[in-house]
């Protein structure tokens, strides 16, 4: 919940928050299987996800995470490393155009796109899978 509230603004459209929750969850889980190092799954700089603790958890980010609980992006039967960044320019320059632009997702959410449409725009050919959660 904190990652969503740290990566995007909690007053963004709910569908954008849901798309961010799924992308962030997928990214983190993929790194559990391909860790950043033998000591930890993710790194602690801005190349990785932003986590600021409970002060960035909001009712909207909690709702987005709960509404998408256990849903991950997959490709070829595996959880995908779903890259995302603040802008289209960063996605293009850093990730070769493959990944979600958070400001682009915001704009799509404002235009009425649902989270499936937002994710489909930025992760073409990806599927969604439900993982078991406790």
Q: Show the domain range for 51.
A: 2-130
pLDDT reading at 40 higher than 60: no
Is residue 114 very low, low, confident or very high in pLDDT (cuts 50, 70, 90)?
Answer: very high
The chain-wide mean pLDDT, for the chain, equals: 87
Q: Which two tokens stand for residue 60?
A: 């909207």
The count of structural domains within the chain is: 1
Residue 128 CB contacts under 8 Å (≥ 6 apart), including other chains: 22, 71, 72, 73, 74, 116, 119
Higher pLDDT, 123 or 45: 123
Q: Write down the pLDDT at residue 6.
A: 79
Residue 52 pLDDT level (bands cut at 50, 70, 90): low
């Amino acid at each position: 919940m904190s990652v969503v509230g740290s990566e995007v603004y909690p007053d963004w459209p709910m569908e954008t928050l849901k798309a961010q929750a799924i992308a962030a969850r997928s990214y983190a889980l993929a790194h559990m299987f391909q860790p950043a190092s033998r000591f930890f799954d993710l790194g602690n700089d801005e190349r990785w996800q932003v986590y600021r603790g409970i002060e960035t958890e909001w009712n909207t980010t909690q709702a987005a995470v709960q509404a998408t609980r256990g849903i991950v992006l997959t490709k070829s039967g595996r959880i995908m490393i779903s890259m995302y960044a603040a802008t289209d320019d960063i996605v293009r320059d850093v990730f070769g155009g493959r990944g979600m632009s958070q400001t682009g997702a915001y704009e799509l959410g404002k235009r009425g796109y649902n989270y499936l449409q937002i994710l489909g725009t930025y992760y073409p050919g990806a599927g969604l899978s439900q993982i078991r959660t406790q």
